[in-house]
Amino acid sequence: MIQIEHLARSFQVPAAPGKRLSFKRARATVVQAVRDVSLLAPNGQITGLLGPNGAGKTTTLRMLAGLVQPDAGRMTVDGVDVANRPLEALSRLGVLSDSRGLYPRLTARENIVYYGALQGMTRDAANARAESLARMLDMAALLERRTDGFSQGERMKTALARALVHDPANIVLDEPTNGLDVIATRALRESLRLLRSPEGGAKCIVFSTHIMQEVERLCDSVVVVAHGRSVAEGTVAELLERTGKSDFEEAFVELAFAPEPSLQTGVSA
Ligand SMILES: Nc1ncnc2c1ncn2[C@@H]1O[C@H](COP(=O)(O)OP(=O)(O)OP(=O)(O)O)[C@@H](O)[C@H]1O
Ligand SMILES: [Mg+2]
């Protein structure tokens, strides 16, 4: 189970060089990437983090993965506080980042096994797991190839296998269907449904997307993020009812692109 409460983070961005005045200190602007995001993702469910470009999805997930420190708020993974016990929290988490971040000189298998070793697995156990994940993700033919030159879909599969190598109870995916064709997208959806099911371990799955069809097809519940705030949460049916719309795209546009004042209420988990 993943719980995020009132998360916030801003970044200092240096002013553009052209705007610097000589002899004066370059002024920095502050980008408030995440203002107030809350989320509760239970086990055995797929929770969608749905928001437009720049809404704060990646920054939220990077904080959860311990890559960026929050300015405020609290995050727990299976009740373990990410700030106080980061290694313990991270060992319960499998993360597919938006950049995928594979080592190009290593083969797909080496990428997966190396990550398993970092998580404390023996090489034999990590190799066996790499092979079973490769079967599940239909990428057995890729295992012995260097990832340099892999297509987007091949990189995504390898990165997903790497994220799952230590069989984490919680899986976090940043825009996993980006760049995937229809067959690869359907295969990924099937894999996520399996991981959600009791046979697949009833994992807690959180994935970010800006595609509402993904949410409609896959998610048990959704948190809508806009301008760095979680502005609504519930099932697709609940959000349709709340907005009085029959089409989820219409409901999303109303929730995510409402004028700022109505966005002031964050979701309390
Ligand atoms: N390291 C950083 N430095 C400066 N600004 C940042 C940084 N990281 C994120 N931001 C800004 O924070 C905002 C939220 O970015 P984020 O990547 O979290 O959005 P997103 O919801 O993932 O968007 P997308 O759908 O385009 O991936 C954006 O305005 C972005 O420019
Ligand atoms: Mg993003």
* Cα 55 to middle of ligand 1, angstroms: 7
Measured from the CA of 31, which atom of ligand 1 is nearest? 5
Closest Cα to atom 25, ligand 1: which residue? Answer: 53
Q: What are phi and psi of 37, to 5 degrees?
A: -110, 130
- What are the beta bridge partners of residue 230? 225
pLDDT 10s digits, 62-77: 999 999 999 999 999 9
* E strand or H helix at 210: none
Model pTM score: 0.90
Model pLDDT, residue 263 = 44
| Burial grade of 23 (CB within 10 A; 0-12, 13-18, 19 or more) | exposed
Low-confidence ranges of the chain (pLDDT < 50): 262-269
Model pLDDT, residue 183 = 85
- What are the beta bridge partners of residue 3? 40, 76
Question: How do beta strands 45-50 and 221-226 pair?
Answer: parallel
Q: What is the DSSP letter of 199?
A: T
Model pLDDT, residue 18 = 62
- Spans of all domains in the chain: 1-91+171-181+199-269, 93-167
Closest Cα to atom 11, ligand 1: which residue? Answer: 33
Model pLDDT, residue 247 = 94
Measured from the CA of 210, which atom of ligand 1 is nearest? 25
Q: Is the CB of 51 under 6 A from ligand 1?
A: yes
Model pLDDT, residue 24 = 53
Nearest bound ligand to the CA of residue 59: 1
Closest CA to 111 of 69, 136, 139: 139
132: tokens are 């079973």
Domain 1-91+171-181+199-269 sits in CATH at: 3.40.50.300
Q: Who contacts 147 (Cβ-Cβ below 8 Å, separation ≥6)?
A: 102, 103, 104, 106, 107, 108, 111, 154, 155, 158
Nearest bound ligand to the CA of residue 34: 1
Q: Is the CB of 8 under 6 A from ligand 1?
A: no
Cα–Cα distance between 92 and 163 in angstroms, integer? 11
